[in-house]
Structure 1
Amino acid sequence: MAAVAERAGVSRRAVYLHFASRADLVSELFGYVNEIEDIEGRFAAVGDAPDPATALDAFARAHAHFMAAVLPASLAVEREARTDPDAARHWDTAMYWRDATNRALVERLAREGVLAPGWTIDTASDMLLALIANGVTATLFDRGWTPDQVGEHTSRLLRSTFLAPAR
């Protein structure tokens, strides 16, 4: 909270007048970012996609562009979650929603009969969660990839990994 106050140019007390705890501050920060970055709108194309392959493409592109906007904050919360209970609660919530979103996408693949052989809904959901982890995205951005490149190549990876070969 002291670092936030210093960066904002206000007293620590002023920060506590607006946010009762670090958890409140983190929740408000992510709520604000999600609103500004229109997370629901960004990912609407996934649910609206006419077929599973197009849904994977939309997911990969939406995720890449969203992460370009939130990655620094997400990495900070992930790092602090190891030692800060407030950050840990927020991180657990964020991971819950990532997992739920991934699972819904994988369930669609399974429901429409195109989930690649060897995958279950559980294993594919877990793998998808790992593939879109902060560290993976950060590595690609650090190597100079643009959000469009990350989205395009992630889409290619998801299609080749999770879609059954055409008959």
Structure 2
Amino acid sequence: MARSIEEPRNARSRRSRAALLRAARELVEEHGMAATTMAAVAERAGVSRRAVYLHFASRAELISELFDYVSEVEDIEGRFAPVSDAPDAVAALERFAHRHAAFLPRILAVSRAVEREAGDDPDAARHWAAAMSWRYATNRALIARLDAEGVLAPGWTVDTATDMLLALVSNGVGETLLADRGWTPEQMGDRMARLLHSTFVATGTRGGRPLP
């Protein structure tokens, strides 16, 4: 009997927590990090401020969990799974370009808001550090695979190529192409794939392997 009572409570708690994180995401996207206070989240979610503190001990905890919430809602792991499943490093690089271009518009608003205020807001800074850590690790794994398969273009090291890739897939580049220049995600994906291939893949490479 206790189990049957506990499970609905847990389910309600998870739904309430998700509703608060959703409210926080909306506030960040619409008004920025500075406006995303515990009181504002409570008002947006239609609950008391005390109810917010029942789930999050502080604003810092709420914001720190926002990265995981967005990652889960947007299914980052699932969206990028085909990259690691690619048959070779070159195919993985091209898949990454298309997946990145399709995914970026979904998280660009919240990501840009956090990025802009990371220098002044400690909670934003922690969130941004977590996001960048994930991006760096993902990009480095991709470049390391090119290197391991012997198809990384001459002149690059894993470190320098990772840094350059991180810059090429930055929020600013995506915002310029998608918002300012009006590219579609499909156009961005196709053109980014060509750019990444010409930049990081050694000439004389076919099917992810150097030609004899």
Q: Give the TM-score of the pair, scaled to structure 1.
A: 0.91
Provide the rounded CA distance (Å) in 2 between the counterparts of 1:12 and 1:140. 40
What corresponds to 1:132 in structure 2?
169
Cα offsets for 1:50-104 (capped at 9, x unmatched): 1122101111111112211111111111112111112111211211111111111
Residues 64 and 126, structure 2, Cα contact 8 Å, conserved in 1? no
What corresponds to 1:146 in structure 2?
184
Alignment of 1:55-66 (within 5 A): 55-66=92-103
Q: Secondary structure at the match of 1:63?
A: helix
> Is there any run of 5+ residues in structure 2 with no aligned partner, and where?
1-36, 205-210
Provide the rounded CA distance (Å) in 1 between the counterparts of 2:43 and 2:177. 31
What corresponds to 2:129 in structure 1?
92
Q: Which amino acid aligns with 1:163?
A: V
Provide the rounded CA distance (Å) in 2 between the counterparts of 1:126 and 1:11. 44
Number of equivalenced pairs: 167
Cα offsets for 1:118-155 (capped at 9, x unmatched): 10101000000000111111111112222212211111
| Aligned residue among 64, 72, 76 for 1:27 | 64
Q: Does 1:122 align with 2:159?
A: yes
Q: Which amino acid aligns with 1:156?
A: R
What corresponds to 1:163 in structure 2?
201
Q: Which amino acid aligns with 1:44?
A: A
Counting aligned pairs with the same residue, the percent is: 69
> Is there any run of 5+ residues in structure 1 with no aligned partner, and where?
none
Provide the rounded CA distance (Å) in 2 between the counterparts of 1:26 and 1:75. 15
**CA deviation after TM superposition for structure 1 residue 11, in Å:** 4.4
Stretches (4+) displaced over 6 A: none
Q: Does 1:53 align with 2:90?
A: yes
**CA deviation after TM superposition for structure 1 residue 13, in Å:** 4.0
Q: Which amino acid aligns with 2:44?
A: R
Residues 67 and 130, structure 2, Cα contact 8 Å, conserved in 1? no
Residues 116 and 164, structure 1, Cα contact 8 Å, conserved in 2? yes
Instruction: Give the structure with higher Rg (CA).
Output: 2
Q: Give the TM-score of the pair, scaled to structure 2.
A: 0.73
